[in-house]
A and B are shown apart, each in its own frame.
Chain A
Amino acid sequence: MNLIPWQRAGLTAWSGLEGLSSLRSEIDRLFEAPLGELARSSHFLSGSAPALDVSEDKDNFVVKVELPGMKKEDINVSLHDGSLSISGERKSEKKWEDAQVYRAERFLGRFQRTVALPAAVAADKIKGQYKDGILTVTLPKAEEAKPKQIDVQVN
C-alpha cells in the first residue's frame, strides 16, 4: 500500500525562499510609502482614537474618555452585546474658513472607541456625563455580576 498522500500538481508548486523574499520586499515597500507617511502625522495613533480609561468598583464600571471641545449632541454612546461604543464627530468651524491657519493640531472628523465590558451591566441604568472635555460613562453592574457574600452556617 502506498502511504504517500496524494497532492494535486498545481498546489505543490513551492516557490521556496524566493517567494518569501519577494513577500518581504513587498512588506518593506508597504511600510516605506503609505504607512510611513501616516505614522508621521500625529493623528495616526492618538487623534481619531481619543484616550480612554476604564475602572471598576463593587457596583459600577466607569469609562472616561477625553473629548475636548465637543457638543453634547455630537457624542453617541451605545451598548451592544456587552460592548460599549463611544463615537462622534468634530466638525470644522465655519468662522475660521477665511482665516490664515498657522497650526492645526486638533483632530477633526469622526472617531470611535469600543470597549468590551468584562461583565454584564444593567443597560437601562447607564449614565453619561460630559464635563470639562471629559465624557464619563457609569455602567452599573447587573445583579448577577456583582460579588455576593454568602454566609454559611458552620456547625
Chain B
Amino acid sequence: MQTTVEKNQTANRPVREEYIAPNVNIFETQEGYVLEAEMPGVTKEGLEITLEGTEITITGRRHPETAVGETLFRERNTADYRRVFELDPAIDTTKVSAKIEQGVLTVTLPKSERVKPRKIKVD
C-alpha cells in the first residue's frame, strides 16, 4: 500500500519533458571549441550544463513571463531548451566555462595543453 501512495505522488509532480533543440554554432580554433546556442528568454538562473564522460548537455529553462491580457497572435514556443553534444576527447573538461548574454549561451571548451599545437625550440 505504501508503494502505491508513493507512486501516485510521483505521478502528480509536474514533469516537463518537452524540449526544443536550440540552434547552435560550433567553431574550432587552435585553443579549443566554442559553442553558441540561441536560448531567448533564458537567464543565468535557468541554465544547467552537465558534463558526463564525453557528453555535454545544455538545458535552458525560460524565465517565466507575466502574461499580458489576451493573446492575439502566437508563434513563440514556450518549451524549454535542451541539446546534447559529443565532445572531442582533446577537450580539457576541467576548464569548460560558460556565459549567457541576450539569450545566447556561449560555452568555451579549451583543448588540453598536450594536444595544442606548439613550436619546438631547436637548440
Binding site for B on A (CB under 8 A): 42, 51-58, 60-62, 64, 66-70, 96, 98-107, 115, 118, 130-134
Contact with B24, one of A60, A70, A106, A115 (Cβ below 8 angstroms): A106
Is B102 touching A69 in the complex (CB atoms < 8 A)?
Answer: yes
Alpha-carbon gap, A3 to B34, bound state (A): 79
19 contacts between A and B (CB under 8 A): A53-B73, A54-B74, A57-B68, A57-B69, A57-B70, A66-B41, A69-B38, A69-B103, A99-B28, A99-B29, A102-B26, A102-B27, A105-B24, A105-B25, A115-B73, A132-B42, A132-B63, A132-B103, A133-B39
Whether B75 is near chain A, meaning CB under 8 Å from some CB there, is yes
Residue of B nearest to A63 (CB): B73
Alpha-carbon gap, A134 to B103, bound state (A): 8
Is B40 touching A53 in the complex (CB atoms < 8 A)?
Answer: no
Is B101 touching A69 in the complex (CB atoms < 8 A)?
Answer: yes
Residue of A nearest to B74 (CB): A53
Within 8 A of A (CB), among B17-72: 23-29, 33-34, 36, 38-43, 63, 65, 67-72
What sequence of 0s and 1s flags, for each residue 63-97 of chain B, a beta carbon within 8 Å of any chain A beta carbon? 10101111111111100000000000000000000
Contacts of B24 in A (CB 8 A): 103, 105-106
Is B103 touching A133 in the complex (CB atoms < 8 A)?
Answer: yes
Least CB distance from B108 to A in Å reads 12
Is B41 touching A56 in the complex (CB atoms < 8 A)?
Answer: no
Alpha-carbon gap, A66 to B104, bound state (A): 11
Least CB distance from A106 to B in Å reads 5
Binding site for A on B (CB under 8 A): 23-29, 33-34, 36, 38-43, 63, 65, 67-77, 101-104
Alpha-carbon gap, A64 to B77, bound state (A): 12
Is A101 touching B40 in the complex (CB atoms < 8 A)?
Answer: no
Task: Please list the 6 inter-chain residue pairs (A to B) with the smallest Cβ-Cβ separation, ordered nearest first.
Answer: A133-B103, A57-B69, A133-B40, A69-B104, A68-B103, A105-B23
Least CB distance from B43 to A in Å reads 6
Contacts of A60 in B (CB 8 A): 68-69
Contact with B102, one of A57, A61, A70, A105 (Cβ below 8 angstroms): A70
Contacts of A58 in B (CB 8 A): 69
Is B69 touching A101 in the complex (CB atoms < 8 A)?
Answer: no
Task: List 11 other contacts, CB 8 Å, given A55-B67, A67-B103, A132-B43.
Answer: A51-B75, A56-B69, A56-B72, A60-B68, A60-B69, A103-B24, A105-B25, A107-B23, A133-B38, A134-B40, A134-B41
